[in-house]
Amino acid sequence: MWRSDVLDEAWKRVKRNRGSAGLDSQTIAEVEQYGVERFLEELADVLRAGEYRPSATLRRYIPKADGKQRPLGIPTVRDRVVQMAAKLVLEPIFEADFLPSSYGYRPKRSQTMALEALRKLGYQHQHVLDADIRDYFGSIDHDKLMKLVARRVSDRRVLKLIRQWLEAGVMEDGEVRSTMTGVPQGGVISPLLSNIYLHVLDLLWSRHSSHLGTLVRYADDLVVVCKTKQQCEDAERDVRKYLARLGLELHPDKTRRVELYDGKQGFDFLGCHLRKRVSGAILEREGKRKYFLQRQPSQRAMKRIRQKVRDATPRGRCHADLREVITGLNPILRGWGAYFGTGNAAKSFNQIDSYVHERLRSLRVKRAGRQIEARTASTWTREYFWTLGLHRLRGTVQYPEATQYRWHESPPASRVRESRKHGFYGGRMETRRCDEGK
């Protein structure tokens, strides 16, 4: 781990991730000013001599979607580099064990892959266990975690490092507090450790409960997709049992069983709302009702992007150069669109395009004042702002892959033409034609 090439790569990744200073207030820029090569050489010497001791993490809070605060533990730059070096060494070892049901914070796996897996499962499955683990990162048992790590790692120096990071404590309100359980969210090594811990759930499910349904997990966010109501109930029972062995429990208010059949209910996962809807393409072409599990930005995701747009276009900027305002908006729109642009998000994209147009037009109206002419205001259309370089979300939806569904050589059915009107409810196929009586 103290090899120069490992530490050099660890530094590059830490720098690329940026991040704020930890307890010692040392920033990445200050390390560069001090000398990166000198910094890494000194760090290698400390690690080689066994004299490395991590600092406590700095406690910070960020708002959660439900209005509560999420605690973060920010390590120092020095600790982040060592944690990244450990991750580079340990990750391939545990990747050999991790199961396909786990998608979070793993090489060559992503949120989109998890969402696509759910889309495909929606063809034959009608019930979902939408599970939420109560305070997962704060409830991880250190001793159990270390035993799981020690199954694959025998080097006592590495095990000692991990134990030190877990017990380093947090600085909050000027006081260092010890941590008996949990891993700090914000630590470089934390996602890997959290995956190691929940790998027990993946393993137990694959061995004893896979007949009930398919587990899809992204870090501590997980759903189980089942074919019947009874399987969904049994799946919840088994998940609770397996989590209890880890000292974890499901959140009683946020865990629920969802019935997809007939589009009765939907569920949120990884920022998307998933619900079965009728394919307008098949309905129009063949007169048959075929339902597919589709996804679009959740209400929370829509609320957050509107807030970001609102923050970037305050009324006080009405006298600023409009191109500068648009330059600040475009990265927000591109990033949001890139994530949600792989689902059925055309309607949501149009709504956000309209909202952005309203905000920019209001800046123009505010600048013009009361003497504004109707003829002038009518020229501030969407196209006007697009010519100034505004990023357009409409028309940017792209799909990771085409569905394998074929019905009388129909084109991909779940990839419905977004401009058409689609039924809101779905969940089963009805073979009657549109002109038949209801």
388 closest CA partner among 301, 296, 294, 320: 320
Burial class for 421, CB neighbours closer than 10 Å (0-12, 13-18, 19+): exposed
Indicate the Cα dihedral angle 51, 185, 305, 253, nearest 10°. Answer: 180
Which pLDDT belongs to residue 413? Answer: 37
Indicate the Cα dihedral angle 266, 271, 277, 281, nearest 10°. Answer: 180
CB 86 within 8 A of CB 12: no
Which pLDDT belongs to residue 65? Answer: 65
Burial class for 371, CB neighbours closer than 10 Å (0-12, 13-18, 19+): exposed
Measured over the CA atoms of residue 202, residue 185, residue 17 and residue 28, the dihedral's sign is negative
Q: Which two tokens stand for residue 11?
A: 């530094």
Distance of alpha carbon 421 from alpha carbon 190, whole angstroms: 45
Residue 298's region, left for phi above 0, alpha for psi from -120 to 50, else beta, is beta
Residue type, 231: Q
CB 281 within 8 A of CB 409: no
Which pLDDT belongs to residue 423? Answer: 34
What does the DSSP assignment read for 216-230? EEETTEEEEEESSHH
Residue type, 325: V
Give the pairing type, strands 291-297 and 57-63. unpaired
Placement of tokens 């908006």 in the chain:
329
Q: At what angle do helices 322-340 and 346-368 cross, to 10 degrees?
A: 170
Q: Which residues contact 294 (CB under 8 A, 6 or more apart)?
A: 119, 274, 275, 276, 277, 343, 344, 414, 416
Residue type, 286: E
Phi, psi of 359 (to 5 degrees): -65, -45
Which pLDDT belongs to residue 421? Answer: 34
Which pLDDT belongs to residue 242? Answer: 97
Q: What angle do CA 208, 211, 212 make, to 5 degrees?
A: 100
Phi, psi of 41 (to 5 degrees): -65, -45
What does the DSSP assignment read for 90-156? HHHHHHTT--TTB-TT-TT--HHHHHHHHHHHTTT--EEEEEEBTTHHHH-BHHHHHHHHHTT---H
Q: Which two tokens stand for residue 186?
A: 């914000």
Distance of alpha carbon 268 from alpha carbon 275, whole angstroms: 9
pLDDT tens digit at each of 438 positions of the chain: 788 899 999 999 999 988 888 888 889 999 999 999 999 999 999 999 989 999 988 888 777 766 677 778 889 999 999 999 999 999 999 999 999 999 999 999 999 999 999 999 998 899 999 999 999 998 999 999 999 999 999 999 999 999 999 998 887 777 777 777 888 888 899 999 999 999 999 999 999 999 999 999 999 999 999 999 999 999 999 999 999 999 999 999 999 999 998 788 999 999 999 999 877 777 678 777 778 899 999 999 999 999 999 999 998 888 888 899 999 999 999 999 999 998 889 999 999 999 999 999 998 888 877 777 777 778 888 899 999 999 999 988 887 664 443 333 333 433 333 333 333 333 333 333 334 443
What is residue 267's three-state secondary structure? strand
Q: Helical H runs in 205-298?
A: 229-245, 280-286
